[in-house]
């Protein structure tokens, strides 16, 4: 189907009657996903957001429940957000990250109702990437600038119009009442050319990486790889697949809330035991954890790599530590032994 760019604002305004709409907007020097209250706030000519749209479903800080202590008990109030949402203009890599997060927040035994409720109530309208950034490497991870996995609709920018690819029924419902024309031959042809033109400049060789990581834990390579890292966690905070969190209480008098906040494996306190013992005492163990978690442990547990190649960790690292180079170094290394 075809959507004129001029119709976008009206469409979003219409959707806002039934949904909270989240879209990229410019804040200072960068873009981020925020709830908009007027369709014209959505800015779809952006490369990628600083912080992934993950925060719409898994906010950096959220209340789990509030409580009031009484003499003979405690009143708990769950804080589950049941509002219907749409994320408009997210990139295919970020859509894929939700599929990975689903596995974490939904196990056989436990369901995380905060993430899952939002997830079930959120429709994803993707935006293909006509001009991927130099840091993008999604195709190495099975994605692509116009990949549709995880999306309900995909918008392909063909100049003055979007070709709208309808991927699910939920996506189709969003278009109800719009009476959009089907894509004509010329639009299809332009879309094809746009897609072909969106070539990625980097490829990362992941072949055999997993079997290398299986035996590389005690290899001295980690001593070198982490050296530059400051442990600031900019990489993990801006990663669409990172999901670590902390749980804290905030209270005043006999009332308060239990809150979860994003946390990161790059911080020393993350694993510090009460006894003072720390299983990951230095930057080396913490950097190794980040790489191993994404490229080995997650594969062991979910049969998928927990990286979508969005490049944010590369862009946001203050010392230019590039995950692509780290992986290449591991790939090029000779594994000496996996014994302590």
Residues that bind ligand SF4 in the complex, under the rule CB under 6 A: 229-235, 239-241, 266, 294, 307-313, 317-319, 321, 323
Within 8 A by CB and 6+ apart from 28, the residues are none
CB of 256 to ligand FAD, least distance (A): 16
Interatomic CA distance for residues 218 and 244, integer angstroms: 24
Whole-Å CA distances, 266 to 37, 210, 218, 229, 254: 36, 22, 19, 9, 34
Report the half-sphere exposure of 279 (CA within 13 A, side-chain side).
Answer: 7
Q: Looking at residues 253 to 282 of the shown chain, list those that interact with ligand FAD (rule: CB under 6 A).
A: 269, 272, 274, 276
| Segment near other proteins (CB under 8 A); pick from 18-26, 48-56, 169-177, 254-262 | 254-262
118 makes contact, choosing from ligand SF4, other proteins, ligand FAD, none, with CB < 5 to 8 Å by partner type, with: none
Partner that binds at residue 193, options other proteins, ligand FAD, ligand SF4, none, CB closer than 5 to 8 Å by kind: none
DSSP of 20-67: EEEEEEEETTEEEEEEESSGGG-----S--SS-THHHHS-SEEEEEEE
Position closest to ligand FAD via CB: 274
Report the alpha-carbon distance of residue 42 to residue 22 in Å, rounded: 8
User: Least Å distance between CB 289 and ligand FAD?
Assistant: 17
For residue 313, the partner it binds in ligand FAD, ligand SF4, other proteins, none, with Cβ less than 5 to 8 A by kind, is: ligand SF4
Q: Which of 26, 60, 111, 210 binds other proteins (CB under 8 A)?
A: 111
Conformation bin of residue 153: beta by default, left when phi > 0, alpha when psi is -120 to 50:
beta
Tell me if 183 sits within 8 A of 130, measured CB to CB: no
- Please identify which residue in 81, 102, 149, 246 interacts with other proteins, judged by CB under 8 A: 246
Structure tokens at 203: 């490829």
**Which part of the chain contacts other proteins (CB under 8 A), choosing from 17-25, 40-48, 128-136, 291-299?**
291-299
Whether residue 133 contacts residue 311, with contact meaning beta carbons closer than 8 Å, is answered with: yes
Residues found near other proteins in the complex (CB under 8 A): 64-65, 67, 69-70, 72-74, 76, 78, 80, 104-105, 107, 109-114, 217-218, 242-249, 251, 254, 256, 258, 260, 263, 265, 270-275, 277, 279-280, 285, 289, 292-293, 296-297, 300-301, 340
């Amino acid at each position: 189907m075809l959507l004129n760019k001029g119709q976008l604002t009206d469409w979003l305004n219409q959707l806002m009657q039934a949904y909270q709409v989240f879209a990229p907007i410019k804040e200072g020097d960068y873009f981020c996903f925020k709830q908009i209250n007027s369709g014209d706030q959505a800015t779809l000519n952006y490369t990628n957001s600083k912080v992934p749209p993950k925060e719409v479903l898994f906010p950096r800080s959220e209340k789990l429940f509030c409580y009031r202590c009484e003499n003979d008990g405690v009143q708990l109030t769950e804080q589950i957000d049941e509002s219907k949402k749409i994320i408009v203009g997210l990139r295919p890599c970020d859509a894929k990250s939700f599929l990975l997060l689903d596995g974490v927040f939904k196990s056989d035994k436990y369901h995380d109702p905060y993430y899952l409720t939002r997830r079930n109530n959120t429709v994803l309208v993707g935006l293909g990437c006509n001009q991927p950034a130099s840091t993008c490497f999604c195709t190495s991870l099975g994605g692509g600038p116009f990949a549709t996995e995880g999306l309900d609709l995909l918008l392909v920018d063909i100049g003055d119009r979007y070709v709208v690819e309808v991927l699910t029924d939920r996506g189709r419902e969003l278009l109800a009442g719009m009476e959009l024309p089907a894509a004509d031959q010329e639009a299809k042809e332009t879309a094809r050319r746009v897609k072909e033109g969106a070539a990625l400049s980097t490829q990362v060789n992941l072949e055999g990486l997993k079997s290398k990581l299986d035996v590389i834990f005690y290899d001295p390579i980690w001593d070198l790889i982490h050296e530059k890292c400051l442990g600031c966690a900019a990489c993990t905070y801006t990663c669409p697949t990172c999901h670590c969190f902390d749980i804290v209480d905030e209270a005043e008098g006999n009332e308060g809330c239990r809150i979860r906040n994003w946390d990161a494996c790059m911080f020393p306190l993350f694993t510090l035991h009460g006894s003072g013992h720390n299983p990951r005492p230095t930057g080396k163990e913490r950097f190794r954890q980040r790489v191993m978690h994404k490229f080995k442990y997650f594969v062991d547990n979910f049969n998928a790599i927990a990286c979508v190649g969005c490049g944010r960790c590369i862009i946001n690292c203050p010392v230019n530590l590039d995950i692509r180079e780290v992986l290449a170094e591991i790939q090029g290394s000779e594994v000496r032994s996996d014994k302590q």
